[in-house]
Structure 1
Amino acid sequence: MKVTVKQWNAVAAWKWHAADDELCGICRAKFEATCPTCKYPGDGCPLIIGACNHSFHMHCMLKWLDTETSQGLCPMCRQPFSTAD
C-alpha cells in the first residue's frame, strides 16, 4: 500500500523554563501568557529570574523596580534583587 501525504499541519507548544513558579509574582499571570504591558507572548515578553530563584515577566519587574517602595528588593522575599547568572 502506498500513501501520499497531500497536506501536513504542524502544531507546536512552548513553555518558559522557570524554577518552580508557574505565575509571575507581580501580575499573577502565567508565564506563557503575557504581562499586562504586552500584546503577544514570547521573546517580546521574556522572563527574568532573580538570584533568589523568583521569576517574573521582565516588564513587570522593570515597572516594580521603578517604584519608590521597591527599594531594589524582590517583591516576593524582599532580598536585594539581582539576576541569576
Structure 2
Amino acid sequence: EDDACGICRNQFDRCCSSCKIPGDDCPLVWGQCRHCFHLHCMIKWLQTESSNQACPMDRRPWVYLTGDPNTAQNSQD
C-alpha cells in the first residue's frame, strides 16, 4: 500500500502542502474506495471542476468512509 498522498505526493507522516506542521491539523481521510489522502488535499481536489466529485485514483464517486478504515465495510463492493 502506498504511503503517500495521491494528490500532493507527500508522505502521510508529513503534512500536506497547505500545512506547516504534521498532526491533527492535517488529518487523513479515506474514501469508500479505500484510497487515502490528506483532508486538505481532498477538499481542494473536490473543489476543482475536473474532479467530477470522484476519487482521483480510480474515478469512483467520492464518498468519505466513516469509522475505522481497517474494519469498516466497503459499500462499493
Give the TM bin, normalised by the shorter chain.
0.7 to 0.9
1:69 Cα deviation from its structure 2 partner: 0.6
Matched, 1:22 2:9: no
Task: State how many pairs are aligned.
Answer: 66
TM-score by length of 2: 0.83
Q: Which runs of 5+ in 2 are unaligned?
A: 67-77
Q: Which runs of 5+ in 1 are unaligned?
A: 1-19
Q: CA RMSD in A?
A: 0.7
Residue 6 of structure 1 corresponds to which residue in structure 2?
Answer: none
Alignment of 1:1-85 (within 5 A): 20-85=1-66
Larger radius of gyration: 1
Amino acid at match of 2:38: H
| Paired-residue identity, % | 53
In structure 2, C-alpha distance between the alignment counterparts of 1:21 and 1:51, rounded to whole Å: 17
- Displaced runs of 4+ in structure 1, greater than 4 A? none
Amino acid at match of 2:61: P
